[in-house]
Structure 1
Amino acid sequence: MRLNFAEVTNFRALQSVKVHIDDQTTLIVGRNNSGKTSFVDLFARFFGNDRPRFTLDDLPASCVRKIDQAVRNYRQAERLRESNPEQAFTLTDRAIELLPEIRLRLTIAYQEDEDLSAISAIIIDLSEDCHEAVIEARFEVRSALDFLRSATKERATDKQIAKLFQRHFHATFHAIGTSAASEVSVGIERSVARQIVSTMFVFAQAKFDDVSADRTRNLSQTFEKFIKTYHEDEHTNVAKFEGLLVGMARRLDSSYDDIFAPVLTWMNAFGNEVFGPGQKPRIVSELDPVSIVKNTTRITYASGDGGRQLPEGHNGLGYSKLAFTVLQVISFLEAHRRASPKPAVSLLFIEEPEAHLHPQMQEAFVRGIRDLLEGQDAEGVQVIMTTHSSHIVASGHFEAVRYFDCTGQQLKVKDLAEFRHKTEPVPAEETLRFLAKYMVLHRCDMFFADSVILIEGTTERLLMPAMIRNCAPQLRREYVSVVEVGDAYAHRFRELLIFLGVRTLVITDVDSVALVVKEDTNGKPRNTYPACPTETKGAKTSNATLKLWLPGLEQVDALLAATDEQRTFDRVRLAHQVAEAPGRRCGRSFEEAFILANADILAKELDHLTVKHSFIQHLQVPITPEEITKNAYAIAGSLDGKKTDFAFDILMLDGWSTPRYIAEGLQWLITSPNE
């Protein structure tokens, strides 16, 4: 058995979402405030240790407005109760229908040959073709009329409505029929629901103090809880610990006889008023293993020379957080192993495990969790992990990612397991293989970004922060993911970017080439396509992104004449080299475009450039901006292998201009609505 789907209704930003849960590990990703924490929190509210509590603020704003409207409808119904009872009845029904409820619906899949006793309480459909059971947790009104009467009677303000919400709404649990024709609902107790769905939560906000005072003892206390869990298992080595305590208790009893003998003698002097006839009190010790461990256990670390043991507060936050999380996971797996009967679904929620962990440790953590699940008796355990870490996403499985997209008016959950079915049939498998490898080798920042910029090479990557600062400073307040994809792979991201719906600027080169016929070694003519200036007659582009994606043109003349609409699709805009002004030359590459846009300053500062030789070998004296402009194509060609040096030269210059095509693209990112 496993949890197949979780559907959330009317909880904060999660107005209506359905999340497919992976068999082993599900990664919940998305930008800040996209609902990731709310998703975990709703499980904790319904299936955690505390009684479910919700406030009016847990409802979406639209639901709060529905409550206000319901109260207004009922007030109007009360005024019409005598004069127009039919209208009053209709308004009352409308008011009741408007009252919202928070729902968490879980669909559990099972096989015919499994032991179904764990979910017998929620199996309603007995059809042989049915292999799902549904449990639903609700926070709903006890009596709609009582709530509406109270709100109307008190002429409730917003603050009073909030109090009435907590007073009149409560948590209920139901078994739901899976028949599409009719959804039968049967109430069950919360205790039964928690026996079906077992949960554990490792939250991001664990309190660790990076101080040497060691007051919090988080790790030590966690180990105390771990010992308590193990103590309940008769098959562990805790029995040896108890044997040691028995011997210690005997020695303590003997010492107590000596220590407390005077006290008992004095008390006996008071006669039978204190102890009855024949009563001989004795002080004995009761050493409980869990009580001994509690508040007497400390985690220590060996000092550098091994001569001293240092308290846990001397260790770094990263190691403490990692140890804390791993211990929590092991405790949950141990409890799952010992559970009898086992719950139908065991869910382990880990919220933002990357806190205080450096990238390599984040990747090691994901691998370690995977190994734990495979190495322990963890069958049936499903991990749901929220993260802002591209390293964790890259170390996980591509199809386990659930992207919480909050760019529209209503949050959507985009399932990368479905991505395979939404790509074009022919390139789908090739695209998926490429993305899966790329996500492992590189980082997945695009899952968390407000905007994405795809670039070709090192020069653009090094200069992009400066170009954003120069011509689009507003973007510095956003999370912009700059992804280097090379000159032949940007189009491979087409399906993924469109699927995610993230605002994207693709910066690429014209890469103009011309047909040249040469003879091969056998004297036969052979077509070749060497690079050429963009103004070459009949030039074409060799750039797959321009040919296969946007604007979908091959002739350079047509590319340079393309409109902004031709370079834009949905929320993706493509930027390639264009002339800085009408009638001027257009660059083939970024380097040539930069030279054409900054010929004046390059002529002035040429002696200070480390790549000076790449310039002067193509220039006539005196070196002027016009001379540099005329030879920009040849100069850019000489920069191959020196592009990083050229980028650092640019960063050392003052007053340079961002090439027009990039400046216009960055401005589009600012003006394009992020929804």
Structure 2
Amino acid sequence: MRMLCVEIQNFRRLKATHIDFDKETTIFVGANNSGKTSAMVALRYFLLSPSSLKLRDITLSLWPLIDSIGDSWLLGVDAPADLNDLLPSMDIWLHADANEIHHVVHVLPTLDWKGGRIGVRLKYLISDIQRLRNDFLFHREAAIKVGTQKTGDKEESIRVWPSNLTDYLESRLRSYIEISAFSLNPELFVQPENGVAKPQLLPDDSIAIDKDPFKSLIRIDDIAAQRDFADAGGRSMPQSEEEHKSNRFKRRLSHQLRTYFDKHLDPRKSPAEGDFLALRAIQEAEKSFDERLKQSFEPAFKELQDLGYPGITNPKLEIATQVQPSEALDHSSALQYKIADVAGHSPKALKLPEDYSGLGYQNLIAMVFMLMSFRDGWMRVGKAANLGEGDKHELPLLHIVLVEEPEAHLHAQVQQVFIKKAYELLRKHESLRNKETYQTQLIVSTHSSHIAHETDFSFLRYFRRRPASEDSIIPTTTVTNLSHVFGKDEETPKFVKRYLKATHCDLFFADGIIFVEGQAERILLPQFIRNHFPELSRCYITLLELCGSHAHRFKSLIDALGVTTLIIADLDSTKLTDVKSQSSAAGQVKRPLSVKPELGQGQETANSVLKSWHPKKRLVDELASLKSEEHSYRTDDGLEVAPVLRASFVRS
């Protein structure tokens, strides 16, 4: 079993967004504010913590329609839309084999299913729309009354909560919503159009699944971006009780060690034969400590006896300690770093507490340890294998791990090592490795070009920003599966992939791209920008040197990324010229040779960008006569591509 894709509706800028997942590792890339974090938060909300939804998570362009529903309630007229249709939803599509039907029978829309695609919609709904309507009307009518006062002939009004339905829901939404699950029909699944998801409509008589559809199917673990490690000179931020219990907030490595010990290693939990020595050592430590404390407190107890306590009928005081091994790990010095003494001057090893290690090492070790803990928790390693009351013996078939921005504090090489080894680490168990029964899918969001370029194109999902349109008054996001960019052509993707890996450019995170063909342009262009176009120096622009006229090879990729692009191209003028040839009966043949650009000489360009991308013209005379606005073109969604000629002409 594995997760094929999700389709997210009405969640932040993900108004109708389709995201494919690789069977092993999926990397979210894209420019700032492109929706990567929104996608990770959506997965977290729907699959881990559905009660976290807030009004501001609903796509902003829907707010006027929500307010119009509230206005219709006040006026006593029909609402312009169903409020439930405006709330976020997520369609989760899985693939399961026919022999796994006993695991998924509770989510199947029909028993005719023979294996393959399975769909479940998780949908936020207003649990009691009439209660919401009545509550809103009560508070809104009271607000109108309080906010309006008449002084003589003059009427004054002030803003009093709630001013509209969104104002009311901003503080009360959680008390009205619930999340429900519905089975989807695999035959009605359709691929997105121009990147926009086309989720199927639920029948009016759809019945919600009466239990958590994924509880026994999927285990989900999460490493959030805010890991808040402390250094030796500062303090980590205080934790709430909820954060303390969550795997998402591990501020000390020692805390992770304690959690792992409690779950998998504590000899007091379901003792086995191998725990005998550990338990004996604990009991001996308790006995020895009790005797020492008894001697230490004896003077104090004697003073109590002088005051008449304990009397004949009062209980006698005794000290009995209880050694908790896990508590020995719950402090900053529980985990220490041994400092290498190369010269051998120190009689004993030098050690420092974990807070004195670099933030990069803390982050790396913490993430690795959390991945190990996720894996072992799923596989019920050690003491976790002893089930409690109500626990099921069957393990979830699918393990999904979300990792947000793993690059924090890590230099480039460590980032690359982590992303190469993370999935391998999650599969490092005898029941996993290359076996098919239990599957793991790692989903990572990143701003790091080093991580993006260390992975294969098939792993990358590019979050493309779409401008506001008639359908949405705010920018939205679509997601491009980069494994589909180049089609069946083999040589072009090979060139592009090799080039990107060689240059380590930040193409996937840029707001604009400039292609140049040689070193001279690469050296001069930054100077031109600084001296003549200072506004561009404040933009996130990637400059790519291609060492030749190869920009046309990137056309499919640029179209997929949807990033405004400037191409500075040589004219590469040629003219058919007679040259000697022994293979020709005439002793010569006509071949295109490079010449100085001249108008009126029938010259042609040899530059593939100009011939095959834009403006798709061959003759030098045609290229020279282009108007300035003809040097660029816009795609349907506003992407601008501008090939600029670098040539001087001689008129004959």
TM-score clears 0.5: yes
Structure 1 residues 137 and 363: alpha-carbon distance in aligned structure 2, compared to 1, 3 A threshold? same
Structure 1: which 5+ residue stretches go unaligned?
A: 78-87, 587-675
Q: Give runs of aligned pairs for residues 159-174 of structure 1, distance below 5 A.
A: 160-163=167-170, 165-166=172-173, 168-174=175-181
The alpha-carbon deviation at position 506 of structure 1 amounts to 1.1
Structure 1 residues 457 and 273: alpha-carbon distance in aligned structure 2, compared to 1, 3 A threshold? farther
Which of the numbers 267, 288, 313 marks the counterpart of 2:355? 313
Looking at structure 2, the residues matched to 236 and 229 of structure 1 have their Cα atoms a distance apart, in angstroms, of 18
Partner residue in 1 for 2:192: none
Local SS of the residue matching 1:208: coil
The alpha-carbon deviation at position 441 of structure 1 amounts to 2.4
Which of the numbers 223, 231, 236 marks the counterpart of 2:265? 231
Asked if structure 2 preserves the Cα contact closer than 8 Å seen for 1:456 and 1:487, the reply is yes
Partner residue in 1 for 2:596: 533
Local SS of the residue matching 2:594: coil
Which of the numbers 369, 374, 383 marks the counterpart of 1:332? 374
Q: Give runs of aligned pairs for residues 97-176 of structure 1, distance below 5 A.
A: 97=83, 100-114=86-100, 116-117=102-103, 119-155=104-140, 156-158=162-164, 160-163=167-170, 165-166=172-173, 168-176=175-183
Deviates more, 1:205-214 or 1:539-548: 205-214
Which of the numbers 286, 306, 310 marks the counterpart of 2:322? 286
1:178 and 2:220 aligned: no
1:545 and 2:618 aligned: no
Asked if structure 1 preserves the Cα contact closer than 8 Å seen for 2:464 and 2:480, the reply is no
Which of the numbers 509, 517, 534 marks the counterpart of 1:456? 517
Superposed CA offset, 1:258-282 (max 9, x none): 445666675695335322xxxx775
The alpha-carbon deviation at position 472 of structure 1 amounts to 2.4
Partner residue in 2 for 1:300: 336
Local SS of the residue matching 2:208: strand
The alpha-carbon deviation at position 95 of structure 1 amounts to 5.4
Of Structure 1 and Structure 2, which has the larger fraction of its residues in strand?
2
Looking at structure 2, the residues matched to 241 and 296 of structure 1 have their Cα atoms a distance apart, in angstroms, of 24
Superposed CA offset, 1:80-134 (max 9, x none): xxxxxxxx5xx15x454576222122122111123743x4432342113353333
Deviates more, 1:371-380 or 1:442-451: 371-380
Which of the numbers 414, 417, 421 marks the counterpart of 2:479? 414
Asked if structure 2 preserves the Cα contact closer than 8 Å seen for 1:487 and 1:508, the reply is no
Asked if structure 1 preserves the Cα contact closer than 8 Å seen for 2:66 and 2:83, the reply is no
Match of 1:369, as an amino acid?
A
Identity, % of aligned positions: 25
Superposed CA offset, 1:447-501 (max 9, x none): 2111111111222122222112233222222211112222232110011111222
Q: TM-score, normalised by structure 1?
A: 0.75
The alpha-carbon deviation at position 323 of structure 1 amounts to 1.6
Partner residue in 2 for 1:405: 464
Asked if structure 2 preserves the Cα contact closer than 8 Å seen for 1:147 and 1:168, the reply is no
Asked if structure 2 preserves the Cα contact closer than 8 Å seen for 1:125 and 1:177, the reply is no
Q: Give runs of aligned pairs for residues 46-65 of structure 1, distance below 5 A.
A: 46-48=46-48, 52-65=51-64
Partner residue in 2 for 1:671: none
1:366 and 2:419 aligned: yes
Looking at structure 1, the residues matched to 28 and 317 of structure 2 have their Cα atoms a distance apart, in angstroms, of 62
Asked if structure 2 preserves the Cα contact closer than 8 Å seen for 1:241 and 1:289, the reply is no
The alpha-carbon deviation at position 556 of structure 1 amounts to 2.3
Match of 2:75, as an amino acid?
Q
Partner residue in 2 for 1:17: 17
Superposed CA offset, 1:482-530 (max 9, x none): 1222223211001111122211111111122334433357895355544
Of Structure 1 and Structure 2, which has the larger fraction of its residues in helix?
1
Local SS of the residue matching 1:31: coil
Which of the numbers 371, 386, 392 marks the counterpart of 2:445? 386
Partner residue in 2 for 1:252: 289
Match of 1:200, as an amino acid?
D
Looking at structure 1, the residues matched to 339 and 509 of structure 2 have their Cα atoms a distance apart, in angstroms, of 40
Structure 1 residues 498 and 145: alpha-carbon distance in aligned structure 2, compared to 1, 3 A threshold? same
Match of 2:39, as an amino acid?
F
Looking at structure 2, the residues matched to 259 and 70 of structure 1 have their Cα atoms a distance apart, in angstroms, of 74
Q: Give runs of aligned pairs for residues 269-668 of structure 1, distance below 5 A.
A: 270-275=310-315, 282-295=318-331, 297-303=333-339, 305=341, 307=346, 308-338=350-380, 340-376=393-429, 377=432, 379-409=438-468, 410-417=475-482, 419-420=484-485, 423=486, 428-519=489-580, 524-525=587-588, 527-535=590-598, 537-564=601-628, 566-569=630-633, 570=635, 571-579=640-648, 585=650
Asked if structure 2 preserves the Cα contact closer than 8 Å seen for 1:71 and 1:95, the reply is no
Looking at structure 2, the residues matched to 364 and 470 of structure 1 have their Cα atoms a distance apart, in angstroms, of 40
Superposed CA offset, 1:554-596 (max 9, x none): 33223222344554343211111244xxxx649xxxxxxxxxx
Looking at structure 1, the residues matched to 483 and 116 of structure 2 have their Cα atoms a distance apart, in angstroms, of 21
Match of 1:111, as an amino acid?
D
Structure 2: which 5+ residue stretches go unaligned?
A: 141-161, 189-201, 238-250, 386-392, 469-474
Asked if structure 1 preserves the Cα contact closer than 8 Å seen for 2:30 and 2:508, the reply is yes
Looking at structure 2, the residues matched to 332 and 369 of structure 1 have their Cα atoms a distance apart, in angstroms, of 12
Match of 1:16, as an amino acid?
A
- Highest RCO, 1 vs 2 (Cα 8 Å, sep ≥ 6): 2
Match of 2:618, as an amino acid?
E
Tell me how many residue pairs correspond in the alignment: 558
Deviates more, 1:497-506 or 1:250-259: 250-259
